[in-house]
Structure formats: C-alpha cells, structure tokens
Structure 1
Amino acid sequence: MTVIPNSKDSMLLVDGMALMFRAYYASAATGYIRRTKAGLPTNAVYGFMRYFWDAVQKFNPTHIACCWDLGSKTFRTEQFAAYKGNRSEAPDELIPQFAVIQEVMDSLGIPNISAPGFEADDCIGTLAARFCEQMDVYILTGDHDMLQLVNETTSVIIMKKGHGNYSVYTPQSLMEEKQLAPAQIVDLKGLMGDTSDNYPGVRGIGEKTALKLVLEFGSVDGILSNLDKLSKSIRTKIEADLDMLHLSRQLAEIRCDVELVCDQEACRLELNHAQVAAKFEELEMASIINWMGVAATNE
C-alpha cells in the first residue's frame, strides 16, 4: 500500500454514516452476520474498522474526527417534509452497532461529532471550513454530494467498491473528470434533484440536461438570467418548477456554519494501545488488534 508522507498536520473527517452503512451491507449481503458469543451483531463494526483503518494507513492523518447523523429530523425535513422520506428503516442487526462503533471511536481517542437538527454532512462541512485554513483536510465518504466542499486544501476521498479503492478529488481532478467547479455540484443537484435524498429538482430535467445547462450558463442564477436562450420545452419545465428548483438547491447545499464544539488538539491521533486492545478483546476481534498493531503492552 502506498502511504502518503506525513510532512505536516492533516485532518481526516470521517462520514461515519456512510462507512457504517457500507460496512453493514457489504457483509450482510453474504447472509452471514458476525456476532459475539453473547449474540451482539458486529459485522458493521468489523467492516467499519477495515474501511476506516485502511484509509488512516493510506492518507496518514495527524488528526481525525468522525461525524454522525442524530436522527431523521433536521432543518431539511422542516423545509421539505418528504426529504429522505423514501429511506427504509435500518435493519434490526445494524441498530445496536451504531453505538458500538461510536464506543470504538472513543477507545481510539477520536471525537464523535454530531449536532441536533443537522446531518453528518453539515458537521463535516463546518469542520472542513474551520480546519482547512490551518491544515490539509481529507473527507472520507461515499457521498458525491460532498464534492461541493472541495477546495485547495480540502480533498474528498470517495470510497469505491472493495477495500482500499478510492477516488480522491481536488479542484483540479473534479474539473478534469466532471468539468465542474465545486459550487456547481449544488446547482446540478438543484436542477436534477436527488432520488436518494428524495427531492425532485425540476421535473423532466435529468442529469444529462442539468449538466449541459450548468456547463453552458455556469449556475442556476446564470440559467435563470438567460431563460430566453433556452428551448421552449426546457424553459417551460423550469418556470413550472421554479420554487422547487430553489428549494432543491437549498436542500443540496451542505451547511458550513453549524455550532460545534470540536477542538483541533482533541482530534490528534494518539492511540492508547492498551485501551484499544481492551475494546476489541471485548468485541472478540483479535484480528483487528493484530493488524492495527495495538496489542496491550502491559500483559
């Protein structure tokens, strides 16, 4: 594995929700749910650690924070009641693992960050904005919405299928691959909506048309200033759904101004090997102790 040299401080912001769901479904798909002798399901915990620690080894951060959703009620559901309304309930085997993963992060000395009324995305956006002026920031996620947070000192690491497979986005690579600036991600979502988050954008405008419009006119505001240059069909669709266009753009935008208590020094990665080993012994995960190299030294 290639390890990026750690020549200066850097912050890894972990999308805990994305890693947890990915870890759960990747292993649950086999039909086997890992459990402790007492019956506690731990497949998501185990998979989470594999994804997480692989990224730590590869990107070699000096500081880490892990961000979480608190519940389904956020300022976005107040703006649009159907927001994420298409999501099914979490599987019974996953629900107890949510707290266990946070306990694991605690044992690693990594802050678990969340805020009432906001999503993990907003916590990540806020911390990225706060720390990117002092250090390089890496955001570990599977959510392409996070690409709007990319800047010269903030990179978004998109997890791909399999362990250790990532696409790392900077402003340059985002422009090369998608021909988009970070802010244009929000305009694109405003137009095309997001089926995963269950908001519609402009009905009848899909990704291909939305991308064409954003590339041609630069932004939603640019499009609205040039309605006379659009085909009658596209113009009619936009004018019919103008309110939803603006609302969808608001829903797509990650907030970067959440009130969070998260001290930079508290995020410094300094493992207490005995504490970490004790936690994974409790979870009956000796293999993790081995490949993290955290066997307790006081035995």
Structure 2
Amino acid sequence: MSKHVLLVDGMALLFRAYYSTAMMNNFMVNSRGIPTNGIHGFTRHLLTAVDTFSPTHIVACWDMGSHTFRNDLFPNYKANRSAPPEQLVPQFDLVKEVTESMDIPNVGIPGYEADDCIGTLASHYQQDAHVTILTGDQDILQLLDDQVHVALLKKGYGNYDTYDADRFVEEKGIKPKQMIELKAMMGDTSDHYPGVRGVGEKTALKLLMKHGSLDAILNNLESLTPAQKTKFETDIEMVHLSRQLAEIRCDVDLSCSLDEAHYRPHRDKVIDKFNEFEFKRLGDLV
C-alpha cells in the first residue's frame, strides 16, 4: 500500500519528553517565562519519527481530561495518578499549536482516552493504508494487525521497538487481541485495577495458552487448581470489569478522513511557530 498513516499518541510523547529533561531541572523556559521542554521534546520525537517512517499521513491523538467512561465503570481507575507538574500544565495546549502549524489534525473525544481514538482510527485506516502507531505505551500492542504496526519509543530519539502481529505472537504465545484478556486476569498497577488478585502474568499466560480464551477459563473453573479456582471465584465480577477496562475501544464516534490527515506541511508556517517558541535548531529537521 502506498499510503502510510502515523498515529501519534500525543500524551505519551509529551510526558516522555517532559520527564526526560525535568529530572535534570531543565524546563527550557522561554523569554515569556513559559516552560517548553515537553513541547520541544515532543516536536523532536515527532520530526524524528517522520524521518524514520516516512508517513504520507499523520494524526495526533490526545486525552481530553482525566475522566473517561472507564471511571464511570470503576471509580478507582487511574486513581493512583498524581496531578501533572505545574511546569507541564501550560504545555498541554501549547503543544497542539505545533501540530496545527504542521497541518496535522489533533483528535480527542471527551470521555475517551487517546488510545480509544487511536484504536478507532487504526481500525478505519487499515482498510486503505498501512498504519504505524507511535507511543510508549505497551497497552497499544493489542491493536496489532496485518496492516497495523506499533513503534514503542525507547530511550533517546529515533530508537524504537517496532512490533508487528507476528512478532507479538512469537514472543507472547497469544494473539494481540488476547492481551485484553491477559490484562483482565493479571490487572494493571499503572491503571490501578486488580484483575484476579494473586494471578500474575506468568499464570495468566499459561491459562490463556491452555484454554484459548478467558471465557473458556471461566467456563472450566473445575479444571483449575483449587487455589486458582478460589481466586477466580472470589474476583469473578472484577475479572469481567477488568476486561472492559483493558479493552481499547475501536468504535468511538469520531472521523478524520485520510485527506484531512495528508501530511504536507508548509515549512515557513512551521518555522514561524518554532521561532515563536524559540526553538532554534528544530527547523533543520523540517
């Protein structure tokens, strides 16, 4: 396929860029007193990915506030997350000015996470294009498909751990979509839901490979060890809920046509925005 869409997990890039420099107290405050370290790093990550993957189309996906339908299902979802640092807060809106200057659509839907927007667009675009998802979040691996690859950011710039569906199956022994059921059982400490307490990744993987699906496991609890059976029976409601929390939605009510996502930036417009933010060297990457 000649069309290649890069779906950018905006928050993942912004947070990674911010913390990689904030740890050294480098906030890159500009002459107006605005910290720009997250924006600068995000932009460099984005431009490096464009150079690496040569996409014909790009969309940036964003979280739109912290409350989503998952919080309605489970109020403690991500309840362990602290408030964003003071220096990062003004960068949430300003970073989108960079993507706008590059004529990259910014997509986000209140009540859903950026992952759900990525899942929906990937499902739609893969009918007509190859899709690469740029993120630092391994949860996205559940979206791997014949035409959908994932590039996980590694330390530094231009370093990626790139997955296709075959590599995932070879490493994990399960299909990408089964990652949802894996997380339903083992839970997710980052997102703060428990799954089946006492069942870790190793046991969950073993059960999935043996039985084929979570439903098959739940329909055959008698075949589990007495200890495993007790754990599943105790957390039977939570494992069903955790499956809903773990699944990235691919049916969000949003649209962004390939024509809108066509990447054809006007260099002068981009350089003007870089100059406004006082990014001296990034213009060389455009």
TM-score relative to the length of structure 1: 0.94
SS of aligned partner of 1:194? coil
Give how far 1:214 is off.
1.3
User: Which runs of no fewer than 5 residues in structure 1 stay unpaired?
Assistant: 1-6, 293-299
- Equivalent in the alignment of 1:296: none
Identity over aligned residues, as a percent? 50
- Equivalent in the alignment of 2:151: 157
**1:154-196: CA deviations, max 9, x gaps?**
1111112222111111111101122220111001000000000
Give how far 1:29 is off.
0.9
Moved more, 187-196 or 174-183: 174-183
User: Structure 1 residue aligned with 2:274, among 280, 284, 287?
Assistant: 280
- Equivalent in the alignment of 1:224: 218
- Equivalent in the alignment of 1:136: 130
User: Structure 2 residue aligned with 1:192, among 186, 191, 194?
Assistant: 186
> Is residue 87 of structure 2 the alignment partner of residue 102 of structure 1?
no
Give how far 1:61 is off.
0.4
CA distance in 1, matches of 2:43, 2:275: 14
- Equivalent in the alignment of 1:46: 40
SS of aligned partner of 1:37? coil
- Equivalent in the alignment of 1:33: 27
User: Which runs of no fewer than 5 residues in structure 2 stay unpaired?
Assistant: none
Give how far 1:277 is off.
0.5
Q: Match of 1:202, as an amino acid? A: V
* RMSD of aligned residue pairs (Cα, Å): 0.9
Give how far 1:223 is off.
0.9
> Is residue 87 of structure 2 the alignment partner of residue 93 of structure 1?
yes
CA distance in 1, matches of 2:278, 2:154: 28
User: Structure 1 residue aligned with 2:76, among 79, 82, 92?
Assistant: 82
CA contact (8 A) 2:47 2:285 kept: no
CA distance in 1, matches of 2:247, 2:141: 11
- Equivalent in the alignment of 2:283: 289
Give how far 1:73 is off.
1.2
- Equivalent in the alignment of 1:3: none
SS of aligned partner of 2:90? helix
- Equivalent in the alignment of 1:118: 112
- Equivalent in the alignment of 2:240: 246
SS of aligned partner of 1:286? coil
CA distance in 2, matches of 1:73, 1:203: 25
How many residue pairs match? The answer is 286
Give how far 1:227 is off.
1.2
